[in-house]
Structure 1
Amino acid sequence: KRNKFKDYNNFHIVNGDFGLYDYGDKKFDLVYSAATIQWIPEPIAFSKSFELLKSGGYLAMMTLHGDYKTPNETLYTELQEVYSTYFKPETQYTQRLIYRNALNYGFVDFQEYKFQSERTYNAESYIEYLGTHCDHIVLQEPYRTNFYNGIRAAILKHHDKINFCDTITLYLTKKP
């Protein structure tokens, strides 16, 4: 990714722990999170973002809610059975960020925008996509192999296709 943006001298990618990384005295126009800020405890997520922004800077947070039940209810039911049987992560995801709470940390002008889109995967590309989810990455054996095999078999049974009706939400708030 760094090479893609190498011609932009004011664009920086930091690979590090958001809460612990030392940004020095740098201030930014934008802090952007695509479905990651909800993994950070609220006081750290919002306080650190506020601290890093210049006055008038924005915190932009995006979430994706993928509905695969509506376009394929039978497949949805079969996948839920696979989840029920084999999805046993050692650590459950319990973090629930309330995005509007950014206002409690000094932010103003909270806005919410919703966008609709559609996605389609075949079995292999869907399994690759699932492999990017934190709670799926940590699945241990004997569940891991059985889980992914079950997902694959269900999608193959349904013409090797799973469709999503997505709602993408952008939460935007500003540092005064």
Structure 2
Amino acid sequence: MLSNNYSDNSLRHTFNEVALLYNEIRPRYPDELFSTLIEVSTVNKNSTLLEIGPGTGQATKALAQKGFNITAIELGASLAEVMRQELYDYKNIQIITGAFEETALSPESFDLVFAATSFHWIEPAIKFSKSHTILKNKGHLAIIHTNHISDEKGDAFFNASQPIYDRYDFTGKHQKPKLPKNEELKASDLDKQLFKLVHFQLFPVTVTYTAKQFVQLLNTFSNHLAAPKEMQHEFYEAIETLIRNSFQGRIDKHFSMSLTIAEKI
């Protein structure tokens, strides 16, 4: 239910409206994902890292704690401010407020460029070419994505909530969504003239949400935030009522964090 379409470019600004909530409620990436990223990309404490679209710094913090020097470019001023507060004690982090597409960066200056659930928002004509330009020889690009997946037990809540989603069509496409199984997920698309795939791995995560918490999560999704406030209120109320009345007030939400690592050609 997340929009992954860069053509609706205005949606990528919506997260800035709910920066504190975004920081509180979005699912975290597992430690194993970062251990794998470090091992495959062979970065070390002398390496230079660039993060695109860090949000409030969930992925940034995980790597900052390991001592890496990171430059993070965040479009949203409110998100960047929360990130500065969250990472105040880490002097190895430089936070730039602005768009990756417009930020001046020196060629061949980074060993690793990474993006956690943000790379799909970058302009297609720029995201690979600019990443390639600023990476050193044999440098790596890592794309982390948060995928919504099937619980493979019938997806009771997903199916029960579809009439509500049908009533409030946030995408405008009137398409019934499908929850893939974990093993059906594939590596992120790459510009194969600039990068070669060297690693792909999935990291399943299950989070239990109360009815209120799940509505808070929904309120950090771009297509929901872009909807009229009255529509949002009615939709959230219907979802919360469904969870309280039919699912004992809480649900398990299944995610799969995908890690695609590519090497600069």
TM-score range, shorter chain: 0.7 to 0.9
- Which has the higher relative contact order, 1 or 2, with Cα contacts under 8 A spaced 6 or more apart? 1
Mean alpha-carbon deviation: is it higher for 24-33 or for 123-132? 24-33
Partner of 1:117: 205
Change (3 A) 1:143 1:69: farther
Distance 1:72 1:129, change over 3 A: farther
Q: State how 1:158-169 maps to structure 2 within 5 Å.
A: 158-169=247-258
Cα contact 1:60–1:170 (8 A) shared by 2:
yes
Cα shift readout 1:62-103 (whole Å, capped 9, x = no counterpart):
1122235545633222211111101335799xxxxx833232
Letter in 1 for 2:255: D
Q: Compute the displacement of 1:133 (Å).
A: 1.5
Match of 2:238 among 127, 150, 154: 150
> Does 2:234 match 1:171?
no
The separation in 2 between residues aligned to 1:2 and 1:60, in whole angstroms, is: 23
Counterpart amino acid of residue 242 in structure 2: A
SS in 2 for 1:102: coil
* Identity value in percent: 24
Separation in structure 1 between the aligned mates of residue 212 and residue 239 of structure 2, nearest angstrom: 10
Cα distance in 2 for residues equivalent to 1:40 and 1:19 = 7
Q: 2:108, 2:137 within 8 Å by CA — same for their partners in 1?
A: no
- d(CA) in 1 for partners of 2:173, 2:121: 13
Residue 160 of structure 1: how far off its partner (Å): 1.2
TM-score normalised by structure 2 residue count: 0.56
Q: Which residue of 2 aligns with 1:34?
A: 116
Give the structure 2 partner of residue 135 of structure 1. Answer: 223
> What's the CA shift string for 1:96-122, capped at 9, x where partnerless?
xx8332323x11343211122211111
Q: Equivalent residue of 1:115, what SS? A: strand
SS at match of 2:192: helix
Structure 2 partner of 1:126: 214
Contact 1:89–1:140 (CA under 8 A) maintained in structure 2:
no
- Cα RMSD after superposing both structures: 2.6
Answer whether contact 1:68 1:162 (CA < 8 A) is retained: no
Separation (CA, whole Å) in 1 of partners of 2:172 and 2:230? 12
**Which runs of no fewer than 5 residues in structure 2 stay unpaired?**
1-82, 175-186
Report how far residue 159 of structure 1 moved: 1.0
Post-superposition Cα deviations, 1:18-64, rounded to whole Å, max 9, x if no partner, equal 21222356822222111111122322111121122222322111112
- Alignment coverage as a number of residue pairs: 169
- Can you list the C-alpha shifts for 1:104-145, whole angstroms capped at 9, x where unaligned? 3x1134321112221111111111111221112111144211
